[in-house]
């Protein structure tokens, strides 16, 4: 299949191009689109056949449910059975934005979307291209991250091209995404609001007005005894081709340990990648060193994490050694993705 690639400037949107993309969605075709978190792989969320195509293109297990993207709160009402007060609060504060909420689904939402569950995940992305596309298609758009299953999520159109060119109908190039990690998934369908996947809207942000909100332990601990509550969290995600290790703790000790490990590995003939930060980069004199961001500004680390993992893959390193960050605020989401990318190989020193 030939994949059409179009460029749209999010500050000066060409509505003719949006219409062309929306037409494809309405016809049951697949269009990758930018959001503020990562690129999504869009299809008509009410069309089982179109949604099946998404799973196929990504190579994604069908029991892993998808998020429906909407552009207005009006659109939400037909998709869910009830909207708890707490969800209205969240929408007021965080929509459009990197927060997905899980509701009890209405009958019009196909089980193909929900992986057979009675609940559905919904979010309003904070990206003008995405919002215009949804509005123009006049449909909820199913949107898993636009990567091949198991690969790091795409934060620019080039990443989508690498993974999916030839497998989907269109890619909208709308530049770099921003947040860089997928949205926070908050389950508001039960009695206790629970974070099933940490993201740009943090536990601390939510605690300010939902005192009882909890975080699913499966998202922060790599313990085989803790089964994550969100189907997606059980799969090994974001896996680089190389083996990855993450060191956390006092940063001076972490740097020294990474230098020691790197020396040993290089002597063994391994090609080593070091995921460093602005503050520490000058300490490393061996290995392939990429700076992921600044420890002073963890949002910058979130924004570049997946891109940096892809860069190491391009350099064909055998092993990636990364510095961890404090697991609070956006750091919780960063460490969750590092945990998954490394298959749980996080060493606290």
145 binds Mg ion (CB under 5 A): yes
| Rounded distance between C-alpha atoms, residue 62 and residue 289, angstroms | 37
144 binds ligand TXA (CB under 6 A): yes
303 binds Mg ion (CB under 5 A): no
Pick the binder of ligand TXA from 143, 198, 273, 287 (CB under 6 A). Answer: 143
Nearest to 232 by CA among 275, 193, 187: 187
Would you put residue 209 in left (φ > 0), alpha (ψ -120 to 50) or beta?
alpha
The nearer residue to Mg ion, 18 or 38, going by C-beta atoms, is 38
The nearer residue to ligand TXA, 230 or 262, going by C-beta atoms, is 230
Mention every residue, 6+ apart, whose C-beta is less than 8 A from residue 285: none
**Shortest spacing between CB 272 and ligand TXA, in angstroms:** 30
**Shortest spacing between CB 220 and ligand TXA, in angstroms:** 15
| Rounded distance between C-alpha atoms, residue 256 and residue 264, angstroms | 13
Nearest residue to Mg ion, scored by beta-carbon proximity: 145
Buried b (16+ CB within 10 A) or exposed e, 284-299: beebbbbbbbebeebb
| Rounded distance between C-alpha atoms, residue 231 and residue 102, angstroms | 13
The dihedral of CA 127, 129, 133, 136: what is its sign?
positive
Torsion, Cα 27 82 219 164, to 10 degrees, reads: 0
Pick the binder of ligand TXA from 24, 66, 139, 258 (CB under 6 A). Answer: 66
Pattern 149-168, ligand TXA, x by CB under 6 A:
--------------------
Contacted entry of Mg ion, ligand TXA, none for residue 96, CB cut-off 5 to 8 Å set by kind: none
| Rounded distance between C-alpha atoms, residue 240 and residue 288, angstroms | 15
32 binds ligand TXA (CB under 6 A): no
* Segment near ligand TXA (CB under 6 A); pick from 11-19, 182-190, 290-298, 334-342: 182-190
110 binds ligand TXA (CB under 6 A): no
Pick the binder of ligand TXA from 231, 257, 263, 326 (CB under 6 A). Answer: 231
Pick the binder of ligand TXA from 53, 65, 324, 331 (CB under 6 A). Answer: 65
What radius of gyration do the chain's Cα atoms show? 20
Contacted entry of Mg ion, ligand TXA, none for residue 117, CB cut-off 5 to 8 Å set by kind: ligand TXA
Q: Read off the DSSP letter of residue 78.
A: T
Q: Hey, how many other C-beta atoms are within 10 angstroms of the C-beta on 5?
A: 14
Pick the binder of ligand TXA from 71, 145, 155, 300 (CB under 6 A). Answer: 145
Q: Residues in the site for ligand TXA, rule: CB under 6 A?
A: 35, 37-38, 40, 64-67, 100, 102, 114, 117, 119-121, 125, 143-145, 182-183, 185, 196-197, 230-233
């Amino acid at each position: 299949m030939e994949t059409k690639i179009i460029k749209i400037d999010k500050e000066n949107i060409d509505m003719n191009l949006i219409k062309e993309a929306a037409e494809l969605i309405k016809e049951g075709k697949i269009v990758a689109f930018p959001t503020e978190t990562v690129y999504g792989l869009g299809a008509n969320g009410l069309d089982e056949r179109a949604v099946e195509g998404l799973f196929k293109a990504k190579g994604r297990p069908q029991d892993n449910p998808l998020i429906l993207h909407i552009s207005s709160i009006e659109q939400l009402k037909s998709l869910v059975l009830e909207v708890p007060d707490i969800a209205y609060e969240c929408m007021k504060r965080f929509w459009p934005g990197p927060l997905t909420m899980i509701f009890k689904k209405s009958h019009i939402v196909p089980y193909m979307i929900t992986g057979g569950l009675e609940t559905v995940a919904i979010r309003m992305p904070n990206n003008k291209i995405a919002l215009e596309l949804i509005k123009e298609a006049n449909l909820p758009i199913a949107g898993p991250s636009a990567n091949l299953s198991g690969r790091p999520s795409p934060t620019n159109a080039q990443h989508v091209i690498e993974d999916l060119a030839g497998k989907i109908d269109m890619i909208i190039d709308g530049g770099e995404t921003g947040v860089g990690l997928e949205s926070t998934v908050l389950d508001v369908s039960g009695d206790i609001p629970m974070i099933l996947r940490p993201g740009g809207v943090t536990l601390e942000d939510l605690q300010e007005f939902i005192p009882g909100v909890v975080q699913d332990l499966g998202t922060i601990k790599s313990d085989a005894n803790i089964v994550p509550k969100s189907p997606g969290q059980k799969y090994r995600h974001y896996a680089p081709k190389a083996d990855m290790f993450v060191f956390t703790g006092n940063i001076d000790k972490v740097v020294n340990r990474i230098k020691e490990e790197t020396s040993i590995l290089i002597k063994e003939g391994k090609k080593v990648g070091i995921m460093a930060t602005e503050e520490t980069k000058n300490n490393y004199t061996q290995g392939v060193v990429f700076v992921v961001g600044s420890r002073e500004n963890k949002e910058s680390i979130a924004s570049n994490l997946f891109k940096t993992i892809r860069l190491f893959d391009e350099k064909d390193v055998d092993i990636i050694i990364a510095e961890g960050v404090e697991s609070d605020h956006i750091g919780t989401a960063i460490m969750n993705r590092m945990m998954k990318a490394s298959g749980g190989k996080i060493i606290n020193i």
